[in-house]
Structure 1
Amino acid sequence: MHLTRKIVHPSIPTSLGVCKVTFRGKSLAIFHRRTYADKTAISQCFEQNQYDMPGRDHGVLIERFYQKILTSGKRPLIIDCGANIGASVIWFTARYPEAHVLAVEPAPDNFSLLQRNCTGLDVDLRKAGIGATDGISHLADAGWGTMAYRTVETEQGPEIAMVTMASLLASKPEDRFVPFILKIDVEGGEESLFSGDCSDINRFPLIIMEPHDWLLPGQGSSLPFFRFHSASGREFCIKDENIASINFKEISQSQSSLG
């Protein structure tokens, strides 16, 4: 089997598998390691549809805002923090084909697959972690495999560049892009991220975040997020592992400015 695979696809290492999925009428191929973690990441996106949120009236509002951005001649901007091997990026590009995705992933092994999976897509890839300040942090394995890499301040792993939301948004000119969706799955790093200045984070009408209190019991890693969410007057929905934080005020203001 491996010999046949090598002959037919010489550029693909035999250590990798290819998962073919169908979404919204599109056939998509996702490269993955033959691991539970990678297969779970794909399943969460394309079988469980975990990022297909919020639903009902909230979902209608988000879809209308997406179309409003397009009508204005600008591009909806999706930032994927903790992009892993790219399953979520592929899902977002298939669900919102006119959007531009900026994907952030700190782990070199994940990033290598992310690059492979995003070949040919309109995606800006950054090998970095997301944080409250620009600088350097360190990569740590939380013990759950390649789905659970964390950035930590203690010098216990390889150095990783850290970028802020302000830096990411500064690279996407306001005359071309409108913040649309911010996805955050950073294995507890949300504690540090939401402990800083959240004004740029609040520009996203929809934030989809996985909290990680289950991974870090007793540390209150999600508390800064909930404080931000409450103080900003955002609305709340939940599906599977993820929280949707919706800024109705931002949607209303942005719609007015888009004309």
Structure 2
Amino acid sequence: MDTGTRPAPGPRPFEPVEVRLPGHAPVWGVGSAETMSVWREMTPDGMYGRAAARLRPGDRVLDIGANVGLASVFFHDVQPGITTVAVEPAPDLYACLQANLAAHVPGSRAVRAAVTDRVGHSRFVYYPNAPSNSGLHTDPVTDDALTRRYLENSGVEEEFIEMVLEGLHDGVSLEVPTLTVSTLLRERPYGDIALLKVDVERAELEVLRGVEAADWPRIGEVVAEVHDEGGRLDACCDLLRAQGFHISVDQDPALAGTELYEIEARRA
């Protein structure tokens, strides 16, 4: 059966693309359209904007599934006194992440790994044409359907949707190191984490299960994009409530009719 995944090719040169965001200094990305699409999520009235507004000088953010680091850049734009530990397994995205942290989030650190509930190595599928949809649990058919619904909700015509979807989720299989949140917290004396941000394409519950009981009190807030398949949304909410968080769940209107939701979990 064709899973849409091919073996990893040999080494190839990668050159980040400089992308000029509206009203912002240039950032590095794997492509202009992809970078702009991710940046559009960074709005003052969205989940990330609300979380950024609650950050204070000296706070530390743990950015899991950092992509090229635009959420970390945005958080620092809103509150320049923060630092970030940003984690991303895909080599091309990680190269951009390093450059963006160095340019825009001083004192922060990039880590190349996937975060899950165990330490080791795992298969990771990278979508060169849709990097933000890459992950440990990719499903090209479902990913096509989600993208289709998003484009339909955005008013894009069917003919153009078919063009966009052609080869969009053809993947490259990589082996990547895996860590847990608690492993990261033990690795260096990071102190408390004001905000844990999770965007990991169907591995959300695994990330949360990788936080050991003793480490939960060190985490002040969680924001996560969750694919609600097989009861994952309820399981994430139940886990967070058990750790003393108050939960709110929302869905971007552009994603209505999909399984993608947003969780904001805050301490009382």
Fold match, TM over 0.5? yes
The answer to whether the aligner puts 1:242 opposite 2:242 as a matched pair is no
Q: Which residue of 2 aligns with 1:37?
A: 34
Determine which of 198, 202, 208 is the counterpart of 1:184: 198
The total of aligned residue pairs comes to 210
Mind listing any 5+ residue stretches in structure 2 that lack a counterpart?
A: 1-13, 139-171, 253-260
The answer to whether the aligner puts 1:225 opposite 2:236 as a matched pair is yes
Runs (4+) off by over 6 Å: none
Mind listing any 5+ residue stretches in structure 1 that lack a counterpart?
A: 1-11, 249-259
CA-CA distance at 1:172 after TM superposition:
3.6
Q: What does residue range 1-259 of structure 1 map to in structure 2 within 5 Å?
A: 16-22=17-23, 27-34=24-31, 36-46=33-43, 49-54=46-51, 62-63=54-55, 66=56, 75-120=58-103, 121-141=106-126, 145-152=130-137, 157-173=173-189, 177-199=191-213, 200-213=215-228, 217=229, 219-238=230-249, 240=252, 241-248=261-268
How does the TM-score come out when normalised to structure 1?
0.70
The sequence identity of aligned pairs, in percent, is: 21
Q: Is the CA contact 2:43–2:49 (under 8 Å) kept in the aligned structure 1?
A: no
**Residues 1:143 and 1:30: Cα distance change in structure 2 (over 3 Å):** closer
Map Cα deviations across residues 204-244 of structure 1 (whole Å, 9 max, x no partner).
1110111112xxx4x33334311212222311234545321
For 1:134 and 1:165, how far apart are their aligned partners in 2? Answer: 10
CA-CA distance at 1:122 after TM superposition:
2.0
For 2:85 and 2:124, how far apart are their aligned partners in 1? Answer: 21
Q: Is the CA contact 2:225–2:263 (under 8 Å) kept in the aligned structure 1?
A: yes
Q: Secondary structure at the match of 1:103?
A: strand
CA-CA distance at 1:133 after TM superposition:
1.5
For 2:217 and 2:121, how far apart are their aligned partners in 1? Answer: 24
How does the TM-score come out when normalised to structure 2?
0.68
**Residues 1:115 and 1:144: Cα distance change in structure 2 (over 3 Å):** same
For 1:110 and 1:162, how far apart are their aligned partners in 2? Answer: 16
CA RMSD of aligned residues (A): 3.0
